[in-house]
Amino acid sequence: MIKSYEFSDQQMNKVMLRTLEEYFMIDYCWDDLEKAFEDNKITEEGMKVISFINEDLKSTSKSLVQEIENKLKSQSIIDYEKVQELKNHLDGINEHYHEAD
């Protein structure tokens, strides 16, 4: 029998923060992960795991991601700002590499 568990607000904020971090990081670096697999830097087993996660992320609607961001913002502005910093950082890196093209 599985017991039910109530997360504290702090634990729930951590779950939301990590979910958003993983979502944005994998979305950002997916092309690089595919290239690394082609270059044999990621094993087939590793790629299966990463692909499973990526497929799950792609099936997640943007509105759900926005909903999680809004909930995190209302519960922990510090954690919300961490997500915004990550997004800004990834956007900056993306712009830098596209300028080099």
Q: What is the pLDDT of residue 100?
A: 55
- Encoded tokens for 73: 């913002």
Taking the C-alpha atoms of residue 69 and residue 19, their distance in angstroms, rounded to an integer, is: 10
Mean pLDDT by groups of 10 residues along the chain of 101 residues: 86 93 89 94 95 85 90 95 95 71 52
Number of domains in the chain: 1
Does 45 fall in a domain? Answer: yes
Q: Which of 4, 8, 25 is nearest to 75 (CA)?
A: 8
Closest CA to 72 of 9, 15, 8, 16: 16
The string of DSSP letters for 34-59 reads: HHHHHTTSS-HHHHHHHHHHHHHHHH
Domain that holds residue 26: 15-100
State residue 84's pLDDT score. Answer: 96
Give this prediction's pTM: 0.73
Q: Does residue 7 belong to any structural domain of this protein?
A: no
